[in-house]
């Protein structure tokens, strides 16, 4: 039986998140100002938008992630960055 993949969005504001998703039929997206983080497959991600005021830290613990840098209204994607497990990226989403 084929199940359709469901996309679930989580809004990022000023917080720290450790995601641990195990359902292969769901794709999780973390939406922030000027960026979108998509968890690719099962595993864990650490996302920090709280520690540094103008920075976002994404640490792909055991899952892969795709980070899309977008226009302020989200209509245009400027660049995609892919992280594999054990990689991290710190960026300023306003630039």
> How far is the CA of 42 from the CAs of 33, 46, 75, in angstroms?
25, 13, 28
pLDDT band of 1, cuts 50, 70, 90:
very low
Q: Which residue ranges make up each domain of the chain?
A: 6-91
Per residue in 55-89, pLDDT tens? 999 999 999 999 999 987 778 888 999 999 999 99
């Amino acid at each position: 039986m084929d199940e359709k993949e469901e996309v679930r969005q989580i809004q990022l504001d000023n917080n720290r998140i450790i995601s641990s998703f195990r359902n292969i039929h769901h794709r999780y997206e973390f939406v922030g100002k000027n960026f979108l983080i998509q968890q690719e497959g099962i595993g864990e991600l650490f996302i920090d938008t709280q520690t540094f005021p103008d920075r976002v830290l994404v640490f792909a613990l055991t899952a892969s992630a795709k980070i899309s840098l977008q226009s302020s209204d989200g209509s245009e994607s400027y660049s995609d960055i892919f992280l594999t497990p054990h990689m991290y990226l710190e960026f300023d989403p306003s630039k």
